[in-house]
Structure 1
Amino acid sequence: MPARERLLVVALDLFAEHGVSGTSPQMIADRLGVTKAAVHSEFPTMDDLALAVIAPALDRLGEVADEAESQRGHAARVESVLAGVVQLVVDYRKMAATLGFDPVVVRLVRAHPALRDLQRIRRLLGGFAPDPGSRVRMAVIAGGLMMAGADPAVAGLDNEDFHDHLLAAGRRILRG
């Protein structure tokens, strides 16, 4: 595994244990067996490192929204968004569980261009002026999907079972 990739894996593990704010470059260096300067040369700030950890998931949000927007009809767009977001949660299960509610990550996402893609996804799920029931279902979907990745009760499920059950639950919630 390339050094940069190892650094990102170790950072995610430490973020899971201590949060982004509780993780230092020295902790990462110690776990990797390198100097703190080596960590800083790759990622000058912890924000840079946290962004690098979450970037793969953020980058996929645009793809999910683009794919859904290419579908004909509201039901097909909703299904496409739901399937895409569920796959993201499955693919980035540890990241969602670890970083979904970390204050540093929340701040970084709010300032990231991918926030527009998140807003596109919400519009695709609930329309442009959703009624209160739709807004509540979207909130349950968004929070529920993130929390499902973090819930120890489902940690033992393999990715295929987790995906299938998560998708089925999302469909039931969206039906209202």
Structure 2
Amino acid sequence: MHETRPGTARERLLAAALDLFAEHGVSGTSLQMIADRLGVTKAAVYHQFPTKDEIVLAVIDPALQRLGPIAERAEAQRGHTARQDAVLAGVVDLVVEFRRLSSTLSFDPVVVRLVRTHHALRSLQRIRRMLGGTAPDPGSRVRIAALSGGLMMAGADPAVAGLDDEDFRDHLLAAARRILRG
């Protein structure tokens, strides 16, 4: 696709789309609304992205693309605990960095549909295996599910929105470790 640079038409379009998604949800946001927000024609939006799904994917793709490197760094560690710690640190960093995105799009049905078919899902499955092993017991599966949902919710929770990134990261990582280790 197109290169993203600060100030490019593409970057402004994605920022406007994220703002509108936050206000109206993905389904409630039209390409015309994005064009109006930018002060351009709908054709200008189509020039960058032929469909709204492509806009949504471009908005979430930077976060999804981080999953592979997180899995690779963790897999390079020796021992199960070191791999788990590397996964937790990587995922927590991801949540902290993309918390606005998480709070806006985590539970949007369009986003859920698009993520289910995204190639980054394979990396997410690798990450889950490192957290729970290849055949996790029921307790481990529940802890991993609680951890996954908790991390997504923490990124979206307005109660922690005021925390600076470093504080948020430290507390989130400590909580994640407690949940995972049961």
Which interval holds the TM-score relative to the shorter structure? Answer: over 0.9
% same residue: 76
Displacement of 1:26 in angstroms is 0.8
Number of residues of Structure 1 aligned to a counterpart in Structure 2: 176
Aligned to 1:38: 44
For the pair 1:107 / 2:108, whether they are aligned, the reply is no
Aligned to 1:132: 138
Moved >4 Å (runs of 4+)? none
- Partner Cα distance (1:76, 1:28) in 2: 44
In the alignment, residue 112 of structure 1 is paired with which amino acid? Answer: H
For the pair 1:161 / 2:167, whether they are aligned, the reply is yes
Aligned to 2:67: 61
Displacement of 1:125 in angstroms is 0.5
Displacement of 1:98 in angstroms is 1.1
1:28-64 superposed Cα distances (whole Å, 9 cap, x missing partner): 1111111111111101001100000001011000000
Q: CA RMSD in A?
A: 0.7
For the pair 1:121 / 2:127, whether they are aligned, the reply is yes
In the alignment, residue 122 of structure 2 is paired with which amino acid? Answer: R
TM-score normalised by structure 2 residue count = 0.95
In the alignment, residue 147 of structure 1 is paired with which amino acid? Answer: M
For the pair 1:48 / 2:36, whether they are aligned, the reply is no
1:82-110 superposed Cα distances (whole Å, 9 cap, x missing partner): 00000000111111111111111111111
TM-score normalised by structure 1 residue count = 0.98
DSSP-derived class of the 1:130 partner: coil
